[in-house]
A and B are shown apart, each in its own frame.
Chain A
Amino acid sequence: MPFQKLGRADEIPPGKTKFVCAGEAPVILANWEGRIYALHGICPHQHNPLEGAVLWDHLLDCPWHHFMYDVRTGQNHFPKNVFPPDVPLAQQQVGPLATYAVRVEDGDVWVDLG
């Protein structure tokens, strides 16, 4: 699938996020230190939308249960860093967010949803 235009870069200043829908695909855009990242817009924990998610450094904080994801990799940071490996129910909750390639051209944000 080709890159799709999902917004303007100046709509997402550093440290901020923007939740958008590309057709039926929810996407969360995040600007960390001037670079824009795109991730799947649904938290894998309880499948809630990431609209209103906040950035703490490079970590995207889900507004529902405060699960946190690394915007660079989509990997869960918290609570994966403290959930015990021997509790299967806990491990099931800390899956990653899908990440998408981003291109910024003439101030437009293009995302490859794959």
Chain B
Amino acid sequence: MGKVARQVVEQAGVNVDVLLDKLVRAAGAEFTTFYYYTILRVNAIGFDGEGLKEIIEDARIEDRNHFEALTPRIYELGGALPRDIRQLADVAGCPDAYLPANPRDMSAMLNVLVEAERCAVRTYTEICNLTFGKDHRTYDLALAILHEEVEHEAWFSEYLSEGPSGHFRRGSPGTSPYVRRFMSADIG
């Protein structure tokens, strides 16, 4: 824990316990989404599914990256991840992204994906609103994650023909162009 790191956030008017609860829930949602997206990616097959597979993989790896990036901040502020992974799944801040009943229905799968991303966009917008101008480090991290979640939503929305995303695919799977700088343990 960073004693002063927490104190400055408290003195800026942020309820750190509330913030930590939101960060742990967000981390739980990233971890469970990584798990569920693994199942969705495995099932993205056939004429429609193969095209979807790569962007599911980008989103899957980047969600794992978000978990990795959130965790140090939770501990810096004096929080902790639940000791029991079942508890982490229970507190996860977004619903489970289940494989649809018909796993060959790519439209149903896309709806699962886009709704999961919309939940994430709401989650990080809320954390940004809570920390803006008060907790600069958490805000910077949450904003970086928000950038990626917004892109994920746009990718899946584009596949549902809701409108163009304006993006092109990542150069390599799960590059995390915004969050990467927070993954200090992964940078050699």
Give the residues from 63 to 103 in chain B that come closer than 8 angstroms, CB to CB, to chain A: 90, 92-101
The answer to whether B122 and A85 have CB atoms under 8 Å apart is no
CB distance from B90 to the nearest CB of A (A): 7
The answer to whether A46 and B90 have CB atoms under 8 Å apart is yes
Give the residues from 70 to 114 in chain A that come closer than 8 angstroms, CB to CB, to chain B: 78-79, 81-87, 90, 93
The answer to whether B95 and A65 have CB atoms under 8 Å apart is yes
Question: CB < 8 Å: which of B94, B100, B111, B115 contacts A65?
Answer: B94
CA distance A83 to B126 in the complex (A): 24
Chain A contacts of B183 at CB under 8 A? none
The answer to whether B115 and A78 have CB atoms under 8 Å apart is yes
Chain B contacts of A19 at CB under 8 A? none
Interface residues on chain A, number (Cβ under 8 Å): 20
The answer to whether B100 and A79 have CB atoms under 8 Å apart is no
Interface size class of chain B, counting residues whose CB lies under 8 Å from the partner chain = 20 to 34
Question: CB < 8 Å: which of A66, A83, A84, A90 contacts B93?
Answer: A66
CA distance A65 to B126 in the complex (A): 13
The answer to whether A67 and B101 have CB atoms under 8 Å apart is no
Is B123 part of the binding interface, using a Cβ–Cβ cutoff of 8 Å? yes
Interface of A (DSSP majority class): loop
The answer to whether B94 and A81 have CB atoms under 8 Å apart is no
CA distance A56 to B126 in the complex (A): 13
The answer to whether B96 and A66 have CB atoms under 8 Å apart is no
CB distance from A93 to the nearest CB of B (A): 8
Question: CB < 8 Å: which of A66, A67, A87 contacts B98?
Answer: A87
CA distance A66 to B111 in the complex (A): 16
CA distance A85 to B108 in the complex (A): 12
CB distance from B165 to the nearest CB of A (A): 20
The answer to whether B100 and A84 have CB atoms under 8 Å apart is yes
Chain B contacts of A67 at CB under 8 A? 95
Contacts known (A78-B115, A79-B115, A82-B111); A90 close to B122, Cβ less than 8 A: no
The answer to whether A84 and B111 have CB atoms under 8 Å apart is no
Is B45 part of the binding interface, using a Cβ–Cβ cutoff of 8 Å? no
Binding site for A on B (CB under 8 A): 25, 90, 92-101, 108, 111-112, 115, 119, 122-123, 126
Binding site for B on A (CB under 8 A): 46, 54, 56, 61, 63-67, 78-79, 81-87, 90, 93
Given contacts A65-B92, A79-B95, A82-B95, 16 further A-B contacts (CB under 8 A): A56-B122, A63-B126, A65-B93, A66-B94, A66-B95, A66-B122, A78-B95, A78-B115, A78-B119, A79-B96, A81-B111, A82-B112, A82-B115, A84-B100, A85-B101, A90-B98
Can you identify 9 A-B contacts, CB atoms within 8 angstroms? A54-B122, A56-B122, A65-B94, A66-B119, A78-B115, A79-B95, A82-B100, A82-B111, A86-B101
